Every structure is written in structure tokens, then in C-alpha cells.
Amino acid sequence: MAVAPEITTEGIYVGGTWRPARSGETFTDFDPATRQPLAEVARGTAEDVDEAVAAARAAFGPWSRRSPSERGDLLRRWAALIREHAEELAALESQDVGKPLSAGRLNLMIATGNLEYGAGLADKVMGATLPSRSPEHTGFTWREPWGVCAAVLAWNVPAIMFCSGVAPALAVGNTIVVKPSEMAPLVTLAIARLADEAGMPPGVLNVVPGLGPEAGTALTGHPGVDHVSFVGSAATGRAVMKAAAENLVPVRLELGGKSPNVVFADADLDRAIPIIVDSICENAGQNCYAGSRLLVEAPIYDEVLQRVAEHMATLRLGPWDADLDMGPLINQAQYDRVLGYVEGAKSEGARPVTDAGAAEEAGPGWFVKPTLFDDVDASMRIAREEVFGPVLAAQRFSGLREALDLVDAVDYGLLVSVWTNDLSRALQMARDVRSGQVSINEFANSAILGLPFNVAKRSGFQHGGGYSVINELTHEKAVTIQLDPR
């Protein structure tokens, strides 16, 4: 598929205008299925970020004073345009990230739903009336937008991250500057074009594609920004938090994960096995919530491993437009990293149960075979670190206590999926695990509207999505009044 050059080389969207980077430079975006260049994209730098922040500041007053329903209506018009163009956008995301087309379609559907949900928050920003010790005093709170928000995003589900981040921020009256990831910026730029078409006032939404150490650092460290949100790796999250600390502004971090599927002996394996495999192979394992650990109760351990390995062996790998089960990894660095983890696991003593390594037969892209490891010890790197690839580490447990200890043995706390038909045990697990999200007899539900994308431990903090994101994207002002005693 050819990508229209104007959406990429003129990819800086600032103050309602599309233009090239001030430096005139571009960076190359690659097609993961062919390893060939896909597009040249405007390479925003500090100068572009300065202009974007200034445009967002100028737009903030008028935008925040617009009626909430007007803000919501505009976001809904934008969502309607995305729905109209969903098929082209799904293809763009699929090719740029390397995921099968049907996964791109699903992502676009979720992204649009999240945009509409965010639009619905516009007229639901409420404060509280406060009890008073004295009849002569009354008090209440207002919730007000922060001002200029900055969002620096990862590449794996770009449409979802963009829509879910931007919609609530704008709905409650903020303006925003977004830096999409340089690994897969195309769908974000195309969706932003539709915002323009929907009538987005100049400066309310600004998009500056570019590299992390250039546009990313410039934006997260910009003194004109009032709130920073970041989606990406823990290592970068640390740098972003330091930059926000310099400016003393609030920061929301959505970082990595090492999510387990915890399978008890009474689980319905016919339902569980395909979902467990999908949880680590969807997007070639490049999801923050990927089910990268398989914790199985001892009596069914061998059976589960055998069935997971058999199911993995049925997966078909190929480019996005072949629309098979799994695509390639995003780039050479990620490919080397994942293969490095596979080799490292072997040398640490883990045993691959499936055929492990590069999948050259799938095509010239960065394809890696889905891999299941047995004989994994809790101290091994594949048991503790985020691989961000289709690599699953299995460990055995006996009983609830041991399951909880294993779940908690990693730094991350994003999602825990529990498979059991014992309601009491499922709820005990849900209560006692340190995790932002828990799934019971399913994995990462996308059917629940407004499900907060919460994270715990080193997976980050602050509200991600759902209704409570209003509290994250506004600050509370307390107002008190002394009443005239006459």
C-alpha cells in the first residue's frame, strides 16, 4: 500500500496547520514485514515542540470556555469520520506495526469506541458541595482542566493510544501536544488529519512526530506543559518522570508488564488454552499486558504445556495483508532483543517446548516463532523481564498461596488472568494480587465500556481511561464563601 507523502513529510500539525519539520529533516519508517522503507516522516525537534506548546497555550482559554457539549460534539464528529475511514486506517496501522489486518480492524474499532467514550466525559466533570461546621460558611469544589497536556506514546497499538489519550484530555477542556512513536506514526497522523476535517480549532490538538531523544525529551521537559502522560518502557518512563520533576508537573506513566495467566487444576482448558496462546501471540507479543507468564497448578501442568505448545504450533505467520495469526516484530532492534532473550533463556537452563527462534519461512520481515519455555526458574530473565515478543515462560505452583507468591515475584503489576471455576478462589486471587487489572476466565476484556486501564507496581501509576480519568486530567479547586450573617 502506498502511503500519501503529504501525511508523512508534512506530518507536523501545529496551530491547525500541517507542515514539514522546521529543520526540513525526516526519519524513515520501515515496513516490518519487508524490512523496507515505508515512509519518510517529518522529524520534529525542539523548535517544532516550542511552537506546538505555544499554539496549545493560545488555544487553551477559548477551548476550556467552550460549552462541554460543544467539545463532546466535536469529538463525536471526529469519531464518525474515523468510522467512515476505518478500513484504510486499519490497513495503515496493520502495515506500519506489522499486525494482521483483522487485528488492525479490531484496534480501530476499540480506538473509535474509546474516543466516543472520552467525548461523553465532556459534560460529566463535577465538583462537590462540602459539609460545613458553621451555618455562616459554605464551600464547594470545581474541577478544572490543567491547561496544556503533553502525551508521548508507544507504537504497538497507536490508534488506541492516541484516541484514548487525546479524547478525555480535550473533552474536559485541556489542549494537547502529542508525540507519536517514530516506530509506527502513520495511523496517528492520518487520524489527526480527520480531527482537522471534523473542525478541530487551531492549536487544540497538535501532533509532532519525531525521535525520542529529540522531540520526546523536548516535549516532556518543556516548561510550558502542565501535565505529562507517557506510554512506553519503564526505562524511558524513569527519564520522563525526571523531566516532569524539573518542571514540577504531574505525570501519568503507563509502562510495561509481565502478566501471568494463572491456571488452577479445575479450569476449563478448552476455553483457556486458545486465549492463553492469543494473550502472548497477539501483536507478536508486543503488548504491555501480554500474557508472558504461564503459571499452572501442578496436577495439570504437563497437560497444559502440551496443549499450549500444540496450539502455538498451529499459528500461521505472515505479512499484515495475508491476515494470518501473527505478524513480525516491529524492527531490527526488537528482533535482536527477542532472539537474545530466547538464547539467554536456553543458556540459563530453560527448555524450549516449541521450535524456537527466527521464522525465516514466514517472509523477509522480522518474524520470530511463538515460543514456550519449560523449566523456568523465578530468577531467570524470561521469568522477570518484559521481552515484548511471543515468548512464554511456564512455571508450576501448588495451591493459592504459592500462586500469589509467583504472581508477585516480578516488579510489574499490570494484568493478572485467573482461570478457575471456584468462585471463592477467583475472588481471593483478584483481591490479593498487586495488579492494576484482573481478568477471571478471560484475558484483557475489550467488551466492557469505560474499563479503566489501570496499572500497579512498576507498571506505572495514575488513572488510565474509564470514568476516573476525569480526576487525572483535571485539578480540583476549593472555593469557600462566608455568608452574610444578617
By the rule CB under 6 A, 179 interacts with ligand NAD? yes
By CB under 6 A, the count of residues binding ligand NAD is 30
DSSP 102-117: HHHHHHHHHHHHHHHH
Q: Which stretch binds ligand NAD (CB under 6 A): 147-155, 165-173, 397-405, 421-429?
A: 147-155
Q: Which long-range contacts (CB under 8 A, 24 or more apart) does 213-217 make?
A: 214/43, 214/44, 214/45, 214/46, 215/43, 215/44, 215/45, 215/46, 215/48, 215/49, 215/179, 216/152, 216/179, 217/243
Measure the CA dihedral 187/188/194/200, to 10°. 180
Alpha carbons 100 and 36: distance in angstroms, whole number = 18
Q: Nearest-CA neighbor of 275 among 144, 441, 139, 75?
A: 441
By the rule CB under 6 A, 257 interacts with ligand NAD? yes
Q: Which stretch binds ligand NAD (CB under 6 A): 16-24, 41-49, 102-110, 214-222?
A: 214-222
Alpha carbons 210 and 181: distance in angstroms, whole number = 7
Q: Please check whether residue 352 is in contact with residue 372, taking contact to mean a CB–CB distance below 8 angstroms.
A: yes
Member of 13, 117, 155, 301 binding ligand NAD (CB under 6 A): 155
Helix, strand, or coil here: 123?
A: helix
Q: Please check whether residue 31 is in contact with residue 39, taking contact to mean a CB–CB distance below 8 angstroms.
A: no
By the rule CB under 6 A, 213 interacts with ligand NAD? yes
Residues 377-436 that bind ligand NAD (CB under 6 A): 386, 388
By the rule CB under 6 A, 240 interacts with ligand NAD? yes
Site string for ligand NAD, 35-74 (x = CB under 6 A): ----------------------------------------
CB of residue 32 to ligand NAD, shortest distance in Å:
13
Nearer CB in complex with ligand NAD: 152/267: 152
Nearer CB in complex with ligand NAD: 212/274: 212
What is the Cα Rg of the chain in Å?
23
CB of residue 305 to ligand NAD, shortest distance in Å:
25
Residue type, position 32, single letter: P
By the rule CB under 6 A, 192 interacts with ligand NAD? no
Alpha carbons 305 and 375: distance in angstroms, whole number = 11
Nearer CB in complex with ligand NAD: 264/366: 366
* Count of beta carbons in the 10 Å neighbourhood of residue 411: 16
Q: Give residue number: closest CB to ligand NAD.
A: 212
Q: Phi/psi zone of residue 421: left (φ > 0), alpha (ψ -120 to 50 degrees), beta?
A: alpha
By the rule CB under 6 A, 291 interacts with ligand NAD? no
Nearer CB in complex with ligand NAD: 288/296: 288
Residues 459-478 that bind ligand NAD (CB under 6 A): 460
CB of residue 177 to ligand NAD, shortest distance in Å:
12
Member of 232, 318, 327, 365 binding ligand NAD (CB under 6 A): 232
Q: Which stretch binds ligand NAD (CB under 6 A): 31-39, 52-60, 148-156, 437-445?
A: 148-156
> What are the strands of the beta sheet with 175-179, ordered from one edge?
17-19, 12-14, 205-207, 175-179, 148-152, 227-231, 251-254, 460-461
Member of 231, 362, 368, 380 binding ligand NAD (CB under 6 A): 231
The three cell numbers of residue 456 are 500497579
The three cell numbers of residue 384 are 522477570
CB of residue 234 to ligand NAD, shortest distance in Å:
6
Nearer CB in complex with ligand NAD: 101/253: 253
Which residues does the annotation mark as catalytic?
254, 288
By the rule CB under 6 A, 11 interacts with ligand NAD? no
Q: Which stretch binds ligand NAD (CB under 6 A): 12-20, 119-127, 174-182, 438-446?
A: 174-182
By the rule CB under 6 A, 454 interacts with ligand NAD? no
Alpha carbons 167 and 483: distance in angstroms, whole number = 39
Alpha carbons 298 and 426: distance in angstroms, whole number = 17
Cα–Cα distance list, 412 to 32, 64, 229, 455 (Å): 28, 36, 19, 9
Q: Which stretch binds ligand NAD (CB under 6 A): 132-140, 212-220, 346-354, 476-484?
A: 212-220
Member of 15, 212, 274, 450 binding ligand NAD (CB under 6 A): 212
Alpha carbons 355 and 22: distance in angstroms, whole number = 49
Residues at the interface with ligand NAD (CB under 6 A): 152-156, 179, 181-183, 212-213, 216-217, 220, 231-233, 236, 239-240, 254-257, 288, 386, 388, 453, 455, 460
